[in-house]
Structure 1
């Protein structure tokens, strides 16, 4: 009795250890300064490539002395035009000036203003803007929330008036342009917002606009109050091409560091919605949590002293993000097409490999054809791990980034295939599956341990331009990691006796929950919950048989226990350190979760239609259906011989579907998982079919007297190298 319960006791211990692993916290090194005054000087369209020590001395001085970062200017629109950027700054939440989509060059930020006196102004359209954002946009934004949080705001320039207007349209103090002597204006209110002008176009016209903005900034710097914080931002795009922009904070406590926030979790990256909380935090005022979507900026150490070394040249994240968007679409589209062709070519090979009735059947596929098919399937399974490693090469600096990235990825796929092929135990049925899965797990885990640098703005990662994720594991990394983890667990579990297989699955799953869910590694609590669900199902059926009601009930209870423990842990952390699960539960408790759910549903719908990963998921699903329900497929035979592998595949399907639906990526996670799982499943099924069709007698086996030649069983074939 004790022996029968001991594995289950160890399963519970592993689950508890996984939750304990989530509580590990590295030493905090972030800091932020305080100020008596804050001056926000913004120039829509300003990018780091515009700065130069000779042409823009004031901007260069601020970048050299202060803390810097890349600013993601996401707003309520897909394209953030100047008016949207100014409004988002003043709202502290994703806002849009109007409901029209941008199809060409952005319009200038020129609000209609009334001047009832010589002190302030009134934005005529503010009430309409507020109503549109609260009723027609999915964010429940209240424009003017920043101005409502301070006693007095001074706006200089038309764009600044949009940011400084209160919800009913009043701008406390306003000047259409910077006064000749701005000292009195900048010291009149604790918050001053200055419009430095819009930076658009290219060539000499753009340089002239940047020089004019720099000259205005120099006058502001000369007149700024003592103990003031300067926030300089390129707070919007100027055309449909979304970019990363300038973010500089300079003042006491903001020297020589990287800007970051709890919203990005990445040194050197800031969101537009983080600027309003930063203003209030510097002034020592609380943020209206139900209204603001961002988090106050902090400063991290380790920035190079020279702004050029930190933000330009090979370190230009904006340039890399631009290249990433085009290359990623090409890569995943080509991968989907190649895998579709590969599956189509594999079908006749599988049909010929099936054992037929009678003493003799049709000839088996030629060994060379089988070897070529196996090599192609291994290479296909290694495609995404190879793409992750290829981001070590600075392909984005090439004149032809897609070709350079493709060459690097192809070389890594060939190298990985050769290494697996030369492994001494390569003939074993599950060896290729285990090797490819282990490679995927190690690549993603190593990347997360070292800061997820391969995924940030990487082809097989995520782009900071979209303003969705800046750190941790992305949907592509999550899919390939979960698939590799559960397939590897299935291969390892198959080597032990039945009663110990659930423990093996749970051990691998526990490690996966820590890697995916830890806020300092994967930082994806939704993904961690999905992994928990997949592991519970995989553990329940790893011993063989069907997923009975009793097994399903125990798996559900175990998954709920881990999920509740994860939620309690996330809610117990400080607000600024909570993950997406804690923030969602907090929003659910205070009644503000509706917009978040609406955004996730909209994102899933768009991803389902637009992403090439949907094709990978559909093609992979069709191939699995063929292999399982066709008499030539071989998956039934594979599952019968290796039930733990079936458990790994089933767990992968469940985990990736949950992660995609609740993470807002639809079939994105499933598509990347399918790119690894399906080629490996086809390869293993092909090997099982070939073993079953082999009529060669085992060593030492002869014909019986007058009897037919003895044939190897599937189990015997598995024992013969």
Structure 2
């Protein structure tokens, strides 16, 4: 009865852990009314490097007394050109101006602004722009949603007219330039949008001159601001490629000396362009338009340094790091994919010649030195992604040759990690390197997530604030590495205990990983947590041996569905502003707009599948496993038979990584990151198992009923009856390996690269050296 109830109890444990991790959400604080008027002042291209006390004294003083942050100006087009930025500001959603782009830069888009009555204005192209965004783009943006949410709005300048135009093109109040006395214009409506100008180019002198003009316009706005008003200054767009982070400053009651943030970023000091519209309405105490805004109201949080220069250096550094990350990430993953493919090709002849022949004739074995070098290369390849993540603890992006600095730091960390694994206790055992590498990878990613994911943000193997997809928690690559590392750690630990305890060990390790991935306080990846729950359930179901039967697959599926449904019910019951991605998707299904989400996810999967170097990693790893390691000569099936917990961990990794990538819109990226860790370790373990595949025990030496303990793969080094060394002997000192297969009562049945424990202690017949001859070398699977 206990054996029958165990899968049920373990499934319930996984479900409870998953729902607990996903249900609890941090209190971000509710945005409350704080102003009677809101002035949104935008300057296309304005970055923090343009701000200093001499060039922009007004903006400097405003930043000193207000709240500041880095603004991601993502829109429906990349890069976000000025007209796209203004349109996104007014839509509160990712929008774009219709029209073709001939190159990567921003074309000179002329906006027609008509003034039929001298009071307001009209944009004749607005209806076409609205149709383009709703019919051709997948975000469902409605240009003019902000203006529709207030009774009256003012626009000053052509860019502001684009943001303030209602969906049918009407601008309530319009002035082409700031009048001599702006007080009357800014006080005529509760919402005013002002175009301060543009700062473009890369010439420092030219940018300084343009920033000075923007600052002069801002000084006039602040001098004429209405009483009890909130003024938001934003660099609303890029002006060229590549994209950059821009200025965001809020000054008004309740916005004193803090960092700007929003629930859409969940990161102090960061907010998105789409957050400005809901911020304006929240400050005015107006209701949000249902399902039109993708952004969330911004907040001011404490923790900013008292020295403004030190505070501004943080977003300026973030901008430089994000820009460098984009340049370096592409070639890093390309080189990683090329190196792993080359290493996979190099491993093939070693696999073919790793099995030692029992007879006097056979191919000459590969030199031990060559095998040792290949093992070190496999360890280094598996540690490449964790090392690259750890390299972001060093400010490599500040150097003139940022790519070389990053490569040097990463190479040093790979060498250090490889040395640590090489000299770790138990390295000579079959699973020694696998356990050490998995532990290091899990430790690096886990500690980063537990300490705020600072290495992930703008990191080469993390996520970029410029992309606008994620600003906190666990990124795509980190998710893949953490899934693989945690499940392999669980499998390695489970293999060291009795069979009856293995599912519990796997659930304990995997459940902790689910909490780290899914908790909004930590990894903040609900899709990843659901995928990992399915992987943990599969691993727990088969870690004690046997195949993935229909009943076991049913329990794993039920666990994943239970976590998904449980979290969906909890998330859907929250207020709309507090829902996560799953709750918003269910709400969209309810009102008939869920197709947009499905379309966006499908498009993201296809684009990532085609363009990402991690796709090559995933496919190359799958090819090596299927066409080499899983073949009779590849050793992986033998490894799986001896170590069922490792087989379970790898199967769970495949399930979790596949689901996490497809459901998260990242195609094979999660699988590629996981494969970069798992495949080299699988090849190394297979080489070690094949190296001892012809070691023998005397027939009948195992006790009746032993599973997988009949023929240990790593036998002793000894002398044959005729005085010759037994087949498969390595001539090295060998020690017992506690990473036993399914040996009875925990006794070692596989010695890694060591001598077995005394046979008498295990209650078995003594081992005898192998005899020459064509004896079978197969090991019964657990």
**TM-score bucket (shorter structure):** over 0.9
What secondary structure sits across from 2:232 in the alignment? strand
2:253 matches 1:219: no
* Matched ranges for 1:148-187 at <5 A: 148-187=148-187
Paired residues of 2:112 and 2:125 also in contact (CA < 8 A): yes
Q: Match for residue 61 of structure 1?
A: 61
What secondary structure sits across from 2:692 in the alignment? helix
Paired residues of 2:629 and 2:686 also in contact (CA < 8 A): no
What secondary structure sits across from 1:465 in the alignment? coil
Q: CA offsets per residue over residues 456-491 of structure 1, 9 Å max, x none? A: 000010100011111110100000000111111111
The CA deviation at 1:299 is 1.1
Label 1:695 to 1:364 Cα distance change in 2 as closer, same or farther (>3 A): farther
The CA deviation at 1:101 is 3.0
Paired residues of 1:98 and 1:129 also in contact (CA < 8 A): yes
Q: Match for residue 115 of structure 1?
A: 115
The CA deviation at 1:632 is 2.4
Q: Match for residue 423 of structure 2?
A: 422
Q: Match for residue 49 of structure 2?
A: 49
Q: Match for residue 686 of structure 1?
A: 687
2:721 matches 1:720: no
Label 1:127 to 1:705 Cα distance change in 2 as closer, same or farther (>3 A): closer
The CA deviation at 1:545 is 2.1
Q: CA offsets per residue over residues 432-454 of structure 1, 9 Å max, x none? A: 11111111111111111111100
Q: Match for residue 775 of structure 2?
A: none
Q: CA offsets per residue over residues 217-267 of structure 1, 9 Å max, x none? A: 001100001100001011111113211111111100011111111111111
Q: Match for residue 529 of structure 2?
A: 528
Q: Match for residue 556 of structure 1?
A: 557
> Which shifted more, 26-35 or 359-368?
26-35
Q: How high is the TM-score relative to the length of structure 2?
A: 0.88
Q: Match for residue 90 of structure 1?
A: 90
Paired residues of 1:314 and 1:394 also in contact (CA < 8 A): no
Q: Match for residue 133 of structure 1?
A: 133
What secondary structure sits across from 2:303 in the alignment? coil
Q: CA offsets per residue over residues 312-357 of structure 1, 9 Å max, x none? A: 3795211110100111111111111111111111111111111336
Once residues 14 and 485 of structure 1 are traced to their aligned partners in structure 2, the CA distance between those partners, rounded to angstroms, is 15
2:251 matches 1:268: no
> Which shifted more, 39-48 or 236-245?
236-245
> Which shifted more, 14-23 or 700-709?
700-709
Q: Match for residue 701 of structure 2?
A: none
The CA deviation at 1:21 is 4.2
2:16 matches 1:16: yes
What secondary structure sits across from 1:100 in the alignment? coil
The CA deviation at 1:569 is 3.0
The CA deviation at 1:132 is 1.0
Greater helix fraction, Structure 1 or Structure 2: 1
Paired residues of 2:329 and 2:460 also in contact (CA < 8 A): yes
Once residues 724 and 206 of structure 2 are traced to their aligned partners in structure 1, the CA distance between those partners, rounded to angstroms, is 93
Once residues 673 and 191 of structure 2 are traced to their aligned partners in structure 1, the CA distance between those partners, rounded to angstroms, is 47
The CA deviation at 1:361 is 3.0
Once residues 502 and 572 of structure 1 are traced to their aligned partners in structure 2, the CA distance between those partners, rounded to angstroms, is 34
> Which shifted more, 188-197 or 135-144?
135-144
Once residues 208 and 237 of structure 2 are traced to their aligned partners in structure 1, the CA distance between those partners, rounded to angstroms, is 18
The CA deviation at 1:570 is 2.6
Label 1:126 to 1:700 Cα distance change in 2 as closer, same or farther (>3 A): closer
Once residues 161 and 145 of structure 2 are traced to their aligned partners in structure 1, the CA distance between those partners, rounded to angstroms, is 14
The CA deviation at 1:568 is 2.4
Paired residues of 2:533 and 2:560 also in contact (CA < 8 A): yes
Once residues 469 and 18 of structure 2 are traced to their aligned partners in structure 1, the CA distance between those partners, rounded to angstroms, is 27
Label 1:109 to 1:192 Cα distance change in 2 as closer, same or farther (>3 A): farther
Once residues 671 and 510 of structure 1 are traced to their aligned partners in structure 2, the CA distance between those partners, rounded to angstroms, is 23
Once residues 94 and 694 of structure 2 are traced to their aligned partners in structure 1, the CA distance between those partners, rounded to angstroms, is 62
Q: Match for residue 470 of structure 1?
A: 471
Q: CA offsets per residue over residues 161-183 of structure 1, 9 Å max, x none? A: 11111111111011110000111
Determine which structure has more spread, i.e. the larger CA radius of gyration: 2
2:587 matches 1:586: yes
Q: Match for residue 601 of structure 2?
A: 600
* Matched ranges for 1:402-417 at <5 A: 402-417=403-418
Once residues 270 and 324 of structure 1 are traced to their aligned partners in structure 2, the CA distance between those partners, rounded to angstroms, is 19
* Matched ranges for 1:563-712 at <5 A: 563-693=564-694, 703=720
* Matched ranges for 1:190-209 at <5 A: 190-203=190-203, 204-209=205-210
> Which shifted more, 59-68 or 300-309?
300-309
Label 1:360 to 1:128 Cα distance change in 2 as closer, same or farther (>3 A): same
Once residues 658 and 609 of structure 1 are traced to their aligned partners in structure 2, the CA distance between those partners, rounded to angstroms, is 18
The CA deviation at 1:553 is 1.4
* Matched ranges for 1:369-384 at <5 A: 369-384=370-385
Label 1:326 to 1:169 Cα distance change in 2 as closer, same or farther (>3 A): same
Once residues 10 and 672 of structure 2 are traced to their aligned partners in structure 1, the CA distance between those partners, rounded to angstroms, is 33
Q: Match for residue 101 of structure 1?
A: 101
Once residues 687 and 599 of structure 1 are traced to their aligned partners in structure 2, the CA distance between those partners, rounded to angstroms, is 45
Once residues 51 and 699 of structure 1 are traced to their aligned partners in structure 2, the CA distance between those partners, rounded to angstroms, is 72
Q: Match for residue 388 of structure 1?
A: 389
Once residues 690 and 703 of structure 1 are traced to their aligned partners in structure 2, the CA distance between those partners, rounded to angstroms, is 19
What secondary structure sits across from 1:264 in the alignment? coil
Once residues 32 and 401 of structure 1 are traced to their aligned partners in structure 2, the CA distance between those partners, rounded to angstroms, is 43
The CA deviation at 1:700 is 9.1
Once residues 569 and 92 of structure 2 are traced to their aligned partners in structure 1, the CA distance between those partners, rounded to angstroms, is 28
2:304 matches 1:294: no
Label 1:145 to 1:27 Cα distance change in 2 as closer, same or farther (>3 A): closer
The CA deviation at 1:393 is 0.5
The CA deviation at 1:273 is 0.6
RMSD: 2.3
- Point out where structure 2 has 5 or more consecutive residues left out of the alignment: 698-713, 730-739, 742-748, 756-782
* Matched ranges for 1:468-547 at <5 A: 468-547=469-548
Paired residues of 2:23 and 2:571 also in contact (CA < 8 A): no
Label 1:224 to 1:344 Cα distance change in 2 as closer, same or farther (>3 A): same
Paired residues of 1:524 and 1:579 also in contact (CA < 8 A): no
Once residues 138 and 601 of structure 1 are traced to their aligned partners in structure 2, the CA distance between those partners, rounded to angstroms, is 11
Label 1:301 to 1:33 Cα distance change in 2 as closer, same or farther (>3 A): farther
Once residues 376 and 595 of structure 2 are traced to their aligned partners in structure 1, the CA distance between those partners, rounded to angstroms, is 49
The CA deviation at 1:88 is 0.9
Aligned residues: 721
Q: CA offsets per residue over residues 410-436 of structure 1, 9 Å max, x none? A: 111111111111122111111111111
Q: Match for residue 735 of structure 2?
A: none
Q: Match for residue 74 of structure 1?
A: 74
Label 1:329 to 1:117 Cα distance change in 2 as closer, same or farther (>3 A): same
Label 1:560 to 1:11 Cα distance change in 2 as closer, same or farther (>3 A): closer
Q: CA offsets per residue over residues 121-177 of structure 1, 9 Å max, x none? A: 111111111111111111121111111100110111111111111111111011110
The CA deviation at 1:32 is 6.0
Once residues 380 and 448 of structure 1 are traced to their aligned partners in structure 2, the CA distance between those partners, rounded to angstroms, is 23
What secondary structure sits across from 1:343 in the alignment? helix
Q: Match for residue 239 of structure 1?
A: 240
Q: CA offsets per residue over residues 70-105 of structure 1, 9 Å max, x none? A: 111111112211111111111111111113236154
> Which shifted more, 536-545 or 216-225?
536-545
Q: Match for residue 38 of structure 1?
A: 38
- Point out where structure 1 has 5 or more consecutive residues left out of the alignment: none
Q: CA offsets per residue over residues 513-566 of structure 1, 9 Å max, x none? A: 111111111111111111011112212221222212122112211221122222
